[in-house]
Amino acid sequence: MADVLLLSAADVRAVFDLPAAIESQRAAFAALGTGEARLAPRVLLDGPDGAVAFSYVSRLPGTGAVAKFGSVTPGNAARGLPSVAALVTVQDPVDGRPVAIIEGEAVTTLRTSAASAVAADHLAAPGASRLAVIGCGVQGRAHVRAMPRVRPVERVTVACRNPGTCRAAAELAAELELPVEGTGDARTAVAGADLVVTATTSAEPVVLGEWLEPGCTVLSVGSFAPDRCEVDGALLDRAAAVVVDDVDTAARQAGPIVAGLRDGRLSEDRIRPLGPIVAGLAPGRAAADDVVFYNSVGLGVQDAAAAAVIVERARAAGAGRIVAL
């Protein structure tokens, strides 16, 4: 028998705010960069209508193993449901018994946008102030909230499929007290931007390399599987740096990276991991006018770092409930 802490989405949001999420992801990638994190291969399983089930397992120094099992279901938008559903399980570092089960969508939303903020902090131009986000769903909104934490964002454009009825821009403008505009055209959103986030699940490019201004940084979080490709090959051609969360994983599972390697537009020695950059062992951006591309597929080490903070804070706050298994 084991006493297990159950944490709902509301519990997660109560104890895990954006600053804590960003610091957790900074620690995760630094540990990955120094070789201290243990990372098992990520597993993907195709489902109907573009759905994908996924599973991650990882461990950070001093923590038990953390596993996440979940799915990305694009059709959930039409159902009024989040596209991501998941559970995170945390083991005791000594005896291996389960100590916590955490609702994973809330964890994923925060840790993904927080990791993008860490990447932007190391790769984007220091004065990047014009943000474009392609996609106005849960992740798109989360990234609009996260980017101003690391760059002096002064203006935001959000590209939505239905800008006439979408309330994302107006709601984010009121929440963040920033000028946030909505548009139905991705090229319009990207025009003049020095920081671009693609947060869709698109199989076709939503951002083209020819649209980008010199010095632009593009962060792709929706190109998480071999058949998801939010950017075109011309962006890889223009990029002075191609950075990923994990080289081996990206080479197998990140759509633009898989396509670039297959088509000969990208060689594996051009692909750089984010971890050593965050750990201070490798440089990030080299020149102000460089176009930089970062592709995140999501790693178990991100969940391990987030879970460690969430469980510690939940125990201190008396959040969640204990069940005997």
Output the six-digit token pair for 23: 């610091």
Residues 163 and 44 in one domain: no
Q: Are 30 and 299 in contact (CB under 8 A)?
A: no
Is the sign of the CA dihedral 136, 141, 146, 147 positive or negative?
A: positive
10 Å Cβ neighbour count for 18? 15
Residues 87 and 136 in one domain: no
The residue written with tokens 């083209």 in the block is 208
Instruction: State whether residue 213 is helix, strand or coil.
Output: coil
Phi, psi torsion values for 229, nearest 5 degrees: -145, 90
Residues 120 and 98 in one domain: no
Residues 78 and 189 in one domain: no
The predicted model scores a pTM of 0.94
Contacts of 116 (CB under 8 A, 6+ apart): 143, 146, 147, 197, 219, 221, 294, 296
Residues 122 and 268 in one domain: yes
Q: What is the CATH number of the domain that holds 144?
A: 3.40.50.720
Residues 102 and 192 in one domain: no
Residues 258 and 314 in one domain: no
- Element spanning 91, H or E: strand 84-91
> What single-letter amino acid sits at 61?
P
The residue written with tokens 């002075």 in the block is 240
Residues 311 and 291 in one domain: no
Instruction: State whether residue 35 is helix, strand or coil.
Output: coil
Is the sign of the CA dihedral 137, 20, 324, 96 positive or negative?
A: positive
Contacts of 155 (CB under 8 A, 6+ apart): 129, 130, 131, 178, 179, 181
Inter-CA distances, 144 with 78, 218, 239, Å:
22, 14, 23
Q: What is the rounded distance in angstroms from the CA atom of residue 170 to the CA atom of residue 163?
A: 11
Q: What is the CATH number of the domain that holds 63?
A: 3.30.1780.10
Residues 221 and 92 in one domain: no
- Element spanning 68, H or E: strand 66-72
Residues 58 and 119 in one domain: no
Range of the domain at 261: 115-298
- Length of the chain, please? 325
Phi, psi torsion values for 244, nearest 5 degrees: -135, 165
Residues 124 and 90 in one domain: no
Residues 101 and 68 in one domain: yes
Q: What is the pLDDT along the chain (325 residues), one digit of tens a residue?
A: 689 999 999 999 999 999 999 999 999 999 999 999 999 999 999 999 889 999 999 999 999 999 999 999 988 888 888 888 999 999 999 999 999 999 999 999 999 999 999 999 999 999 999 999 999 999 999 999 999 999 999 999 999 988 777 899 999 999 999 999 999 999 999 999 999 999 998 999 999 999 999 999 999 999 999 999 999 999 999 999 999 999 999 999 999 999 999 999 999 999 999 999 999 999 999 999 999 999 999 999 999 999 999 999 999 999 999 999 8
Phi, psi torsion values for 308, nearest 5 degrees: -60, -45
Q: How many domains does the chain fold into?
A: 2
